[in-house]
Amino acid sequence: MMAMCGRYRLSSTEEEVAEFFEAEPIEELHPRYNIAPSQPVPVIRQVGRGRAISLVRWGLVPFWAKDSSIGSRLINGRSETVLDKPSFREPFAQRRCLVPADGFYEWKKAGQRKQPFHFGMKDGSLFAVAGLWDRWQSPDGTVLESCTILTTTPNELLQDVHDRMPVILHRNHHDTWLTAPPAERRRLGELLVPFEARLMTRYEVNSIVNSPRNDTPACAERIVSANNLFSDV
């Protein structure tokens, strides 16, 4: 199975993202329809009393890593073991972030091929995925900021497609996720649960989304097929 969450979109405008998350963009954002690991992705972090949106690399490189190649193996973190893993333990306590999205993709095996699906909110709104970030410095002094996306068990909408789903945080939990002190990390674990399926929708999309080289609105467009039995219509 492809890593989960291994591909998503953020096609909303910079202004829409800033307004929804009450955050200030400090780097220019452009609509994206097929975001893949190792690429720069927007994250929202607490800065003083406000929130800032900036770009970091998707694939966590812990501050103690010998080199940055570890990031390719840390695009996701299992929420159930986040307190046990050296790569995630300290970021979970002190460096949490929101990863804004308005949809994500997963693949279901259909005979000899895999059919891609798009998942999102029924009302089409933005949402936040729970993320962790870290800052690593290379031997030559170059600083790299990176992130990982936390996953949990799937809800009813995803369970026949994949055994994991991204941790989607309710809007009233955003502030807690960003600002809770390290001593409350056990309580934060209560937020890392499957999002309600009744608030979400899914549908089949074109296989052009299979390649991260394709990053156009067509990646997220619903397709109608003769055997479109799995879509939420």
Residues belonging to the active site: 5, 106
Asked if residues 3 and 76 have their Cβ atoms less than 8 Å apart, the reply is: yes
Q: Distance between CA 6 and CA 106 in Å, rounded?
A: 8
- HEC-encoded secondary structure of 2-59: CCCCCCEEECCCHHHHHHHHCCEECCCCCCEEEECCCCEEEEEEEECCEEEEEEEEEC
Q: Pick the closest to residue 84 from 76, 92, 72 (CA basis).
A: 92
> What count of residues does the chain have?
233
Q: Distance between CA 72 and CA 74 in Å, rounded?
A: 6
